[in-house]
């Protein structure tokens, strides 16, 4: 079975996303939504086997999903209290992302536990695809894949996932950051390279990515403060070809002083299974990966402790 999501336009400014539902070649009837009660929007599948598998998976994650929904309600209320959405403190976003990361790790652990007991679950396979696509490589995802049944692994989807996990394993903590032939934005004769420094942050971004741009002023400040002490930044932009001028003007606007490389149309990043932005990797002086997606707060603390 393949997963789908139904999106319903309620009005000009509001959409409703259904939960993921599954359809296979035997599925005959799908009932989507209720015209009189849009808030009770649902998808009903008459394929009992699929329904039972989905219910088993949802029940296993019910407690954690409930906790996550409560957390999101609290943060939504805090967000709504800010009158100027353009001036929300970075600390708010750092705390939010830290909590999201905690939930994601818990979900990874539950997914592994579920697959150990239910190795033939097609629902778990697609959840693993979703998690990997969103977060990139994790040893947990590799272990979860290994516990899938031979029948599930024989599917084309699972084989594609296996190859992607293998490629992404280049980015394990402790591995040396891989080489690339992408070129410098301002000088196409200069190929991508990792500078000699005690710590190097490799930042994947693009010029219309709001979260990417929000962190730039802080990065510029950290760079000015710690560059002479052994801190470097390398930028990798994934802008589309038609947005090259916007990329250049963004670099100029923020007065970004470090080397920026252009991964045109995001081809290299896609090959590396980097699909979420911003994504960063902190490297040691040997170019080995220390941590993925270090927050600005964590980075500031680390540089203060190690380079002062």
Q: In 250-273, which positions are buried (b, 16+ CB within 10 angstroms) versus exposed (e)?
A: bbeeeebebbbbbbbebebbeebb
Q: Cα(92)–Cα(81) distance, rounded to whole angstroms?
A: 12
C-beta separation of 53 from 70 below 8 A: no
Residue 20's pLDDT is 73
- Looking only at the bridges linking them, the beta strands covering 199-205 and 231-237 are parallel
Residue 84's pLDDT is 87
Question: Going from the N-terminus, what domains does the chain have, and what CATH number goes with each?
Answer: 2-46 (no CATH), 49-171 (no CATH), 183-307 (3.40.30.10)
Residue 273's pLDDT is 84
Residue 27's pLDDT is 62
Residue 13's pLDDT is 58
- pTM over the 0.85 mark: no
Residue 6's pLDDT is 63
Interval 27-59: pLDDT, tens: 666 666 655 555 555 556 667 777 888 899 999
Would you state the structure tokens that stand for residue 217, as one six-digit string? 């002023």
Tell me which residues of the chain have a pLDDT lower than 70. 1-19, 27-46
Q: Which stretches within 81-195 are classed as H helix?
A: 90-117, 122-135, 139-146, 150-153, 156-168
Interval 102-117: pLDDT, tens: 999 999 999 999 999 9
- Looking only at the bridges linking them, the beta strands covering 7-11 and 14-17 are antiparallel
Residue 51's pLDDT is 80
């Amino acid at each position: 079975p393949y997963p789908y999501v139904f999106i319903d336009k309620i009005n000009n400014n509001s959409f409703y996303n259904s939960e993921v539902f599954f359809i296979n070649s035997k599925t005959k009837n799908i009932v989507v939504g209720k015209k009189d009660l849009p808030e009770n929007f649902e998808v009903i599948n008459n394929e009992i086997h699929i329904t039972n598998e989905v219910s088993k998976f949802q029940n296993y994650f019910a407690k954690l999903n409930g906790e996550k929904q409560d957390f999101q309600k609290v943060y939504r209320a805090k967000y709504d209290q800010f009158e100027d959405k353009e001036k929300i403190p970075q600390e708010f976003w750092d705390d939010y992302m830290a909590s999201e990361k905690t939930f994601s790790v818990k979900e990874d652990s539950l997914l592994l536990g579920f697959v150990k007991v239910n190795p033939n679950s097609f629902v778990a396979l697609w959840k693993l695809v979703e998690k990997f696509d969103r977060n990139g490589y994790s040893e947990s995802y590799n272990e979860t894949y290994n516990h899938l049944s031979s029948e599930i692994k024989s599917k084309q989807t699972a084989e594609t996932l296996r190859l992607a996990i293998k490629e992404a394993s280049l980015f394990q903590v402790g591995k040396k950051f891989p080489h690339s032939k992408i070129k410098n934005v301002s000088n196409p004769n200069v190929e991508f390279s990792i500078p000699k420094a005690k710590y190097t942050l490799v930042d994947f971004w693009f010029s219309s990515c709001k979260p990417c741009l929000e962190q730039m002023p802080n990065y510029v400040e950290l760079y000015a403060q710690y560059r002479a002490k052994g801190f470097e930044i390398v930028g990798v932009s994934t802008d589309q070809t038609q947005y090259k001028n916007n990329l250049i003007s963004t670099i100029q606007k923020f007065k970004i002083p470090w080397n920026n490389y252009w991964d045109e149309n995001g081809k290299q990043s896609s090959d590396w299974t980097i699909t979420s932005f911003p994504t960063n990797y902190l490297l040691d002086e040997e170019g080995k990966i220390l941590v993925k997606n270090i927050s600005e707060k964590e980075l500031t603390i680390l540089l203060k402790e190690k380079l002062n």
